[in-house]
Structures are given as C-alpha cells and as structure tokens.
C-alpha cells in the first residue's frame, strides 16, 4: 500500500495539483473506496485539490518574494539596507570622456553633441594639451560606446574653434546594479573582512571612486605607516589626473596622514597612476582568399586590445616573481581564430619571439599593430 504523507512533511515546491491528487488516491485506497476517474470520491476531492494547489502556488510565490535567496526589487533593497549595503551603483551613472578642443576653449557647463547625444563640459584635463573632460547627460552603459575620434559639435558656436574630437573613455557609465549581482554580493559579504585600516578597506575605498578600473594596495612600500594604491583606469590604461586626485582627496588629502580623509590618523596614503606599458606586435598574416586585409587587421586589433585590457584589470604576478606576462602564444591564438586568417608566420611581441613581462606599476596597452598581410 502506498505511503500517505502529511503536508507538513513535504517540501513546498513538491506540493502541486498532481502530487495532491496522488495523495488523495493513496488515501482513498487506504479507505478502500473507489478512486477511479469519475468516481464520487475523486469528484468530491477534485475541488479541494484545485483550491489547495492554488493556495500553495501563491504561498510559493510569496516565499520567493520574501526569501533572501530569491527576492527582487524593493524587497531586495530592504535586505540590502538591513545589511548596511546598497546597490552599486544605486542609480545608473553617466560616462565621462576626454575631448580635444583645437583653436579655442569651451566654457564649463557648455553642451556638446556627440552622435546626437548631449554631453556637458566638466573640467580641463591638465595632463594633456587641449584636453577637457565631458560627461554624458544620459546614463547607463549605452553611453560607453562612442568611438575615440568621433566629431564633437558644440551646441552653441565657440568663436575660433577649429575642430573638436572625442577622446578615450575616462569614467565608464554603469547601469543600476541588477538583482542577481546585488543579491550575490550581499550573500557573499563582498568577500573579504573589511575593517578600518586593513588592505581590503583601502581597496574598497579606491574601487568606490568613479574611473577606477583596478586598484592594487601595497602597504609599507614607502616606509612605516604608508600605503600605496596603484590605480588603473576602467579602460585598462593610465587613469586621468582627475581620477587620481579624487582617490587621493577621498582617502588622504595631501598625503599627509592627518586623518582628513578616510585613512586613519598616522597613515599616509599615496594614489599612484599606473604607467602604460606599450605593446607592439609584428609578423605576416596569410589571408583566406577574398578576405579584406583592413577588416581582418581591425578585428585582430580589437581582440588584442581586449586581451590586454583584461590583463591590466585582472592579471596577478607570476608565482615567485614580481612580474606579469603577456603571452605570445595567446596573441597567436587570437590571430588564428580571427575570421579571414589562414595562417601567420614570424610573430613578434615587442620585437622578440617570447613572452613580454611588465609589473604592477604599469598596464599593457597596444601601441602598434605592425602585422603585414599576404
């Protein structure tokens, strides 16, 4: 005889109309009544089964809404708040780009147009001639897709302006953090024990600054009571001066250890921009018949730029050394897996035929793609 189970012994997900029907049949069998389809017993039980199943469906939905493991929206926001956290970011953010003005300077707050999208002039970038920072009016990751070299048009005429072009992305726009990411971050407790003054705390402070793609923390590098943070931009290269200033001013203004920022009194923090490590590739690529060399070269360049960016933002030291590697075999693989490539010969990386190495003080950036095509 089939075992009759109590509802309280069942998992909530197991209580369905089918399982309840099976339980009703088992109970009828135990009572020695007719349990066939169309029987008085089955017809009498059917309505109760349907209403009970509907109730448990609603109960399951409520559980999913309220459970810390499945909640979304406002309920998740409340759990984050209770944990002393919030979505990161809480709202979608704008993108900031370099912009080059030749012949005249813009006014702060002036409106500029890039591919029919409005930007606002933020400030002058002191590290480069004719360079200013402009920020998108719209927010979200769609704002990260404007290409360097795109024409920038002032909304109002600027006297004596000869030309104006868009430069590199400095601070990437972000969408509001989605439910899955926020929930995972909350459940993991962000990974490390973050306490005032430890390396994890300095790392957290750095990464909260717009424009920081990576921060690496080195305690005591400049002597007792010092912490050095090497900062890489969101694009995997050298960050703008404004980003470094924001990090420095937030953690230890003036690097004087007086506790005027987030760093504790007596701890001197230095925000240092990584320098770009130029990468040059060479060699001969044999194309598949009918392939366009300019198209293939652009695709190869795009792949290598993405590979180097990933290294800049994630690579760790080679065990037992203080160096990191750019793998020539990986470069070769990226070339070979590009549509239109049949083979390649004589591949070089920075003039050599072996891996190239760099340190945490630099970020690898493609300088020249000297591949030739046959």
Task: Give the pLDDT confidence of 12-23 residue by residue, as tens digits.
Answer: 778 888 988 988
Average pLDDT of the segment spanning 244-251 = 96
SS3 assignment, position 356: strand
Chain-centroid distance of CA 118 in Å reads 24
**Cα 240 from Cα 132, distance rounded (Å):** 11
User: In terms of domains, do 255 and 287 share one?
Assistant: no
User: In terms of domains, do 302 and 361 share one?
Assistant: yes
Q: Look up the CATH number of the domain holding residue 99.
A: 2.40.30
Give the model confidence (pLDDT) of 184-230 as tens digits: 878 876 444 556 678 888 998 999 898 999 999 999 999 999 999 99
Tokens standing for residue 245: 């200033």
Give the DSSP letter of residue 89. Answer: S
**Cα 230 from Cα 245, distance rounded (Å):** 13
User: In terms of domains, do 321 and 334 share one?
Assistant: yes
- Give the residue carrying structure tokens 């912490």: 227
Full-model pTM:
0.63
Task: Give the count of domains, the chain.
Answer: 4
Which range marks the domain in which residue 357 is found?
276-373
Tokens standing for residue 269: 């923090």
User: In terms of domains, do 233 and 308 share one?
Assistant: no
Residues shown for the chain: 374
Asked if the model's pLDDT at residue 362 lies above 80, the reply is: yes
């Amino acid at each position: 005889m089939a075992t009759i189970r109590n509802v309280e012994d069942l998992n909530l997900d197991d209580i369905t109309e089918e399982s309840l029907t099976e339980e009703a049949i088992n109970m009828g069998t135990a009572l020695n009544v007719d349990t066939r389809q169309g029987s008085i017993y089955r017809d009498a039980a059917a309505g109760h089964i349907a209403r009970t199943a509907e109730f448990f469906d609603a109960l399951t939905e409520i559980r999913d809404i309220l459970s810390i493991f499945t909640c979304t929206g406002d309920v998740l926001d409340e759990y984050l708040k209770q944990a002393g956290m919030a979505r990161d970011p809480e709202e979608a953010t704008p993108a900031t780009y370099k912009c080059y003005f030749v012949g005249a300077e813009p006014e702060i707050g002036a409106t500029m147009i890039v591919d029919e999208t409005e930007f606002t002039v933020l400030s002058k970038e002191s590290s480069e001639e004719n360079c200013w920072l402009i920020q998108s009016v719209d927010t979200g990751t769609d704002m990260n897709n404007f290409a360097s070299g795109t024409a920038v048009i002032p909304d109002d005429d600027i006297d004596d302006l000869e030309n104006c072009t868009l430069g590199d992305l400095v601070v990437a726009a972000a969408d509001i953090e989605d439910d899955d990411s926020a929930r995972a971050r909350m459940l993991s407790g962000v990974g490390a024990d973050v306490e005032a003054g430890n390396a994890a705390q300095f790392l957290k402070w750095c990464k909260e600054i717009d424009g920081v793609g990576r921060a690496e923390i080195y305690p005591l590098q400049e002597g007792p009571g010092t912490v050095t943070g090497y900062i890489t931009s969101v694009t995997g290269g050298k960050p703008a001066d404004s980003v470094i200033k924001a990090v420095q001013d937030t953690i230890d203004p003036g690097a004087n250890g007086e506790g005027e920022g987030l760093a504790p009194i007596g701890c001197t923090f230095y925000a240092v921009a990584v320098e770009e490590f130029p990468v040059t590739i060479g060699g001969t690529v044999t194309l598949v018949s009918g392939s366009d060399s300019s198209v293939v070269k652009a695709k190869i360049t795009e792949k290598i730029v993405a590979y180097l960016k990933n290294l800049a933002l994630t690579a760790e030291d080679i065990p037992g050394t203080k160096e990191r590697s750019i793998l020539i075999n990986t470069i070769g693989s990226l070339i070979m897996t590009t549509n239109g490539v049949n083979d390649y010969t004589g591949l070089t990386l920075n003039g050599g035929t072996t891996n190239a190495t760099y340190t945490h003080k630099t970020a690898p950036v493609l300088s020249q793609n000297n591949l030739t095509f046959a």
